[in-house]
Amino acid sequence: MFSKEEIAQRIAKEIKDGYYVNLGIGIPTLVANYIPKGINVVLQSENGLLGMGPFPFEGEEDADLINAGKQTITTLPGSSIFDSAMSFGMIRAQKVDLTILGAMEVSEQGDIANWKIPGKMVKGMGGAMDLVASAKNIIVAMQHINKAGESKLLPKCTLPLTGVKCIKKIVTELAVLDVLPEGGFKLLERAPGVSVEFIRQSTAGKLIVEGEIPEMKLD
């Protein structure tokens, strides 16, 4: 199975030259460390920053430079800092080419639940609802199964929704999957050493398998 870092590394391969990319809280923030060489990408943080770099080395952190998840970050030459009103204006105007989000659940219709677990205190949904309503393309970085061994890829989400029919692709510790417009998770790649049958057993929603499924490659 892939680690969180390997999930982020695989998602980084989806980023194309010239993209403006928003990285959500959790696994998506790790993508900043794996941007392919020779690719010119501008990373956007919804708290008001364009031009994020990789995470700082220990001892080189600047407490005034943080992402939306309150983690210390670095900035690249030419970066800009602005207020959240301008940041969300950029998001709502669909100036972001790719959004990478974490999720608690995704349905086979492309619905996403990623902001609230009933009975647990949360500060709010943050910018997730704006992002899923406005983004041109959304990839989810998530765990395929929860700590109880239950699938998080479901026929229908059980948690409060963040967005409806908006997710295009999912990368988990087990697999890479497309969410089809007509519904269902189409298996594209599997993690090294993980069988198609295990992925099938770990996916509660409709899983579509066509032909031989290659192993994920990070190089």
Catalytic residue from among 5, 14, 46, 173: 46
Tokens of 193: 């050493």
CB 131 within 8 A of CB 93: no
| Sheet of strand 153-154: strand arrangement | 112-113, 105-107, 153-154
Q: What are phi and psi of 65, to 5 degrees?
A: -110, 105
Q: What angle do CA 58, 27, 3 make, to 5 degrees?
A: 90
Among all chains, which residue has been given the structure tokens 């198609």? 196
Q: What angle do CA 8, 219, 197 make, to 5 degrees?
A: 70
CA distances for 143 relative to 2, 37, 149, 150, angstroms? 10, 27, 11, 10
Q: What are phi and psi of 148, to 5 degrees?
A: -90, 0
212 is catalytic: no
CB 21 within 8 A of CB 44: yes
Tokens of 205: 């929603």
Region of 78 please: left (phi>0), alpha (psi -120 to 50) or beta: left
What is the set of active-site residues?
A: 46
